Chain A
Amino acid sequence: MIASSRSPLVFVVHLSVLLLVALWTLPTAGLLISSLRDKDQLAVSGWWTALSTSSQNLTGRAASPETQVERDGKFVIAGRLIEEGDTKVSAFGFRPLQPTAFEAGAEADIGDGQTLTVREDGSYEIVSPTKMEGTRGQRIFYTASVPPRFTLDNYREVLNAEGIGASFINSLTVAIPATIIPILVAAFCAYALAWMPFPGRAILIAVIVGLLVVPLQMSLIPLLRLYNGVGAFFGVPAKTYGGIWLAHMGFGLPLAVYLLRNYMAGLPREIMESARVDGASDFDIFVKIILPLSFPALASFAIFQFLWTWNDLLVAMVFLGAGNEELVLTGRLVNLLGSRGGNWEILTASAFITIVVPLIVFFSLQRYLVRGLLAGSVKGG
Chain B
Amino acid sequence: MQQLLFAIFTMVGGVLACVVYFFGTNFLLDKMFPSKGLTGAQASKNLRITNAIRPWLFMAPALFALTVYLVYPVFESVRLSFHNRSGQQFVGFSNFAWMINDGEFRQSIFNNFLWLLVVPALSTFFGLIVAALTDRIWWGNIAKTLIFMPMAISFVGAAVIWKFVYDYRAEGSEQIGILNAVVVAFGGTPEAWMTIPFWNNFFLMVILIWIQTGFAMVILSAALRGIPEETIEAAVIDGANGFQIFFKIMVPQIWGTIAVVWTTITILVLKVFDIVLAMTNGQWQTQVLANLMFDWMFRGGGDFGRGASIAVVIMILVIPIMVWNIRNATKEMEGH
Decide if A and B are genuine partners: yes
Taking beta carbons and an 8 Å cutoff, which residues of A are in contact with B? Answer: 1-5, 7, 9-10, 13-14, 16-17, 20-21, 24-28, 30-31, 34, 42-48, 169-170, 172-174, 176-177, 180-181, 184-186, 188-189, 191-193, 196, 198, 201-202, 204-226, 241-242, 245-247, 249-251, 253-254, 257, 265, 281-283, 286, 307, 310-314, 317-318, 325, 330, 333-334, 337, 344, 347-348, 350-351, 354-355, 358-359, 361-363, 366, 369-370, 373-374, 377-381
A sample of 28 inter-chain contacts (CB < 8 A) reads A14-B137, A21-B147, A26-B178, A28-B150, A28-B161, A46-B176, A176-B8, A177-B7, A184-B19, A185-B62, A189-B61, A192-B56, A196-B54, A196-B55, A205-B333, A208-B66, A209-B325, A213-B318, A215-B290, A218-B315, A220-B73, A225-B304, A245-B14, A250-B66, A344-B167, A351-B160, A359-B153, A361-B152
Closest to B321 in A: A213
- Inter-subunit contact A216/B143 (CB<8 Å): no
Interface assignment of B59: CB less than 8 Å from any CB of chain A: yes
| Size range of the chain B interface in the assembly | 35 or more
CB distance from A60 to the nearest CB of B (A): 21
- Inter-subunit contact A2/B66 (CB<8 Å): no
Question: Given that A172-B7, A218-B77 are known contacts, is A337 also in contact with B140, CB under 8 Å in the complex?
Answer: no
Q: Which residues of A contact B198 (CB under 8 A)?
A: none
- Inter-subunit contact B74/A214 (CB<8 Å): yes
- Inter-subunit contact B58/A27 (CB<8 Å): no
Q: Encode B128-169 as 1/0 by CB contact (under 8 A) with A.
A: 011001111100100101111111111111011111110100
Question: Given that A46-B178, A173-B3, A250-B69 are known contacts, is A5 also in contact with B136, CB under 8 Å in the complex?
Answer: yes
A218 to B83, CA, bound (A): 15
Q: Which residues of B contact A31 (CB under 8 A)?
A: 160-161, 164
- Inter-subunit contact B65/A378 (CB<8 Å): no
Q: Which residues of B contact A307 (CB under 8 A)?
A: 152
- Inter-subunit contact A311/B153 (CB<8 Å): yes
Question: Given that A169-B4, A210-B322, A377-B261 are known contacts, is A222 also in contact with B297, CB under 8 Å in the complex?
Answer: no
Question: Given that A192-B58, A334-B156, A344-B164 are known contacts, is A223 also in contact with B218, CB under 8 Å in the complex?
Answer: no
Q: Which residues of B contact A215 (CB under 8 A)?
A: 267, 270-271, 290, 311, 314-315, 318
- Inter-subunit contact B10/A189 (CB<8 Å): no
Q: Encode B237-267 as 1/0 by CB contact (under 8 A) with A.
A: 0000110010000000010110011001001
Q: A27-B210, A198-B52 are in contact. List 10 more A-B contacts (CB 8 A).
A: A48-B178, A169-B3, A173-B3, A184-B15, A210-B322, A214-B74, A221-B80, A250-B68, A377-B261, A381-B260
- Inter-subunit contact B70/A214 (CB<8 Å): yes
A322 to B294, CA, bound (A): 16
Closest to A311 in B: B154
Chain B binding surface, main DSSP class = helix
- Inter-subunit contact A221/B11 (CB<8 Å): no
The stretch among B89-97, B104-112, B219-227 that forms the contact with chain A is: B219-227
CB distance from A195 to the nearest CB of B (A): 9
CB distance from B303 to the nearest CB of A (A): 10
Q: Which residues of A contact B245 (CB under 8 A)?
A: 2
- The 5 A-B pairs of least Cβ separation, nearest first, read A250-B69, A311-B154, A362-B152, A189-B62, A222-B76
Q: Which residues of A contact B260 (CB under 8 A)?
A: 377-379, 381
- Inter-subunit contact B157/A191 (CB<8 Å): no
- Inter-subunit contact B4/A173 (CB<8 Å): yes
- Inter-subunit contact B73/A377 (CB<8 Å): no
A378 is contacted by which of B257, B314, B333 (Cβ under 8 Å)? B257
Taking beta carbons and an 8 Å cutoff, which residues of B are in contact with A? Answer: 1, 3-4, 6-8, 10-11, 14-15, 18-19, 22-23, 26, 30, 51-52, 54-56, 58-59, 61-63, 65-66, 68-74, 76-77, 80, 87, 126, 129-130, 133-137, 140, 143, 145-157, 159-165, 167, 174-178, 181, 210, 213, 215, 218-219, 222-223, 226, 232, 236, 241-242, 245, 254, 256-257, 260-261, 264, 267, 270-271, 273-274, 277-278, 290, 293-294, 297, 304, 307-308, 310-312, 314-315, 318, 321-322, 325-326, 328-333, 336
- Inter-subunit contact A224/B297 (CB<8 Å): yes
A45 to B174, CA, bound (A): 6
- Inter-subunit contact A378/B223 (CB<8 Å): yes
A314 to B307, CA, bound (A): 14
Question: Given that A17-B143, A24-B146, A215-B270 are known contacts, is A257 also in contact with B157, CB under 8 Å in the complex?
Answer: no
CB distance from B127 to the nearest CB of A (A): 11
A221 to B254, CA, bound (A): 40
A313 is contacted by which of B52, B156, B267 (Cβ under 8 Å)? B156
A374 is contacted by which of B1, B66, B177, B218 (Cβ under 8 Å)? B218
- Inter-subunit contact A351/B161 (CB<8 Å): yes
- Inter-subunit contact A381/B278 (CB<8 Å): no
CB distance from B26 to the nearest CB of A (A): 5
Q: Which residues of B contact A191 (CB under 8 A)?
A: 58
Q: Which residues of B contact A45 (CB under 8 A)?
A: 174, 176
- Inter-subunit contact B137/A265 (CB<8 Å): no
- Inter-subunit contact B61/A311 (CB<8 Å): no
Q: Which residues of A contact B175 (CB under 8 A)?
A: 46
Closest to A348 in B: B164
CB distance from B174 to the nearest CB of A (A): 6
Question: Given that A176-B7, A184-B22, A210-B322 are known contacts, is A379 also in contact with B66, CB under 8 Å in the complex?
Answer: no
CB distance from A32 to the nearest CB of B (A): 10
A191 to B57, CA, bound (A): 12
- Inter-subunit contact B290/A2 (CB<8 Å): no
Q: Which residues of B contact A180 (CB under 8 A)?
A: 11, 14-15
Q: Which residues of A contact B58 (CB under 8 A)?
A: 188-189, 191-192, 196, 282, 286
A192 to B25, CA, bound (A): 15
CB distance from B126 to the nearest CB of A (A): 7
Closest to A4 in B: B242
CB distance from A250 to the nearest CB of B (A): 3
Q: Which residues of B contact A334 (CB under 8 A)?
A: 156, 277-278
Q: Which residues of A contact B70 (CB under 8 A)?
A: 211, 214, 218-219, 250-251, 254
Q: Which residues of B contact A204 (CB under 8 A)?
A: 59
